[in-house]
Amino acid sequence: MKKLQIFIRVNGEDHELLVAPNRTLTDVLREELDLTGTKHGCDEGECGSCTVLLDGDPVNSCLVLAAQADGRDITTIEGVANGSDLHPVQRAFVDQGAVQCGFCTPGMVLTAKALLDKKKRPTEHEIRAAVSGNLCRCTGYQKIVDAVQAASRGKTGAGR
């Protein structure tokens, strides 16, 4: 199994890595780059807890080989806040109580961010459709939808 050299940009930082071909993007983010906000869930693309943005689009990082990410731009949950200044979606999740156990939250936030990057004022239906691949077993989704809607309307506590 020949290792492969890859270049990836993660949260704005360039990395040159030597990876085994059978490592997924989830594995490399967590184990090589210590970005453990990306969760290992079902590992089969059903639950969405491993969601990252690949060139801006949400994907299940458990179903992307690290080698396939060569040359691509990746955003993980660690790259969403600006220092200690939370992203409006994160702020809204806190304000609306959209986080319970928190395991789905990184994926939810990234998917919601990707949606709002494309569409400033999505409808409730569009929000529900966008997060439909991110499973939450705690909240029943209502507070998550409320949070995304609040973020889209600029109604977050941080005043931005």
Partner 1 sequence: MLLPKFDFLRPTSIAETCEILDEYGESASLLAGGTDVLVNLKRNLIAPTHLVGIDRITELDEVRTTKGEIQIGSLATATALAENRTLKRRLTILARAAGGLGSPMIRNRATVGGNLVTARPAADLIPPLMVLDATVHLADSTGTREMPVDRFVTGPGETRIKTNEVLTHVSVPRCEPGTGGVYIKFGARHSCEISIVSVAAFVTLTPAGRRIKEAKIALGAVAPKPIRCPRAEELLAGAAPGKKAFTKAGQAAARASKPITDHRGSARYRRQMVDVLTRRALVAACQAAREDLAGRAR
Question: Can you read off the two tokens belonging to residue 1?
Answer: 């199994």
Q: How far is the CB of 7 from partner 1 (least distance, A)?
A: 13
- Given candidates 36, 95, 133, 141, which one binds partner 1 under the rule CB under 8 A? 133
Are 65 and 54 a contacting pair, CB within 8 Å?
A: no
Toward partner 1, which CB reaches closer, 129 or 158? 129
* Angle between helix 88-96 and helix 105-118 axes, rounded to 10 deg: 130
Residue among 70, 71, 46 nearest 60 (CA): 46
- How far is it, in rounded angstroms, from Cα 159 to Cα 153? 12
Q: How far is the CB of 154 from partner 1 (least distance, A)?
A: 24
Number of chain positions touching partner 1 (CB under 8 A) = 30
Q: How far is the CB of 124 from partner 1 (least distance, A)?
A: 14
* Footprint on residues 8-47 left by partner 1 (CB under 8 A): 21-24, 43-46
- The string of DSSP letters for 88-108 reads HHHHHHHHHT--SS-SSHHHH
Q: Please report whether residue 142 would count as binding partner 1 according to CB under 8 A.
A: no
Toward partner 1, which CB reaches closer, 140 or 154? 140
Q: Residues 7, 81, 121, 62: is their CA dihedral positive or negative?
A: positive
* Footprint on residues 44-73 left by partner 1 (CB under 8 A): 44-46, 48, 51, 54, 57-60, 62-65, 67-68, 70
Toward partner 1, which CB reaches closer, 95 or 103? 103
Are 56 and 114 a contacting pair, CB within 8 Å?
A: yes
Residue bearing tokens 């492969």 = 4
Question: Can you read off the two tokens belonging to residue 85?
Answer: 């200044």
* Footprint on residues 69-98 left by partner 1 (CB under 8 A): 70
Binding site for partner 1 (CB under 8 A): 1-2, 4, 21-24, 43-46, 48, 51, 54, 57-60, 62-65, 67-68, 70, 111, 129-130, 132-133
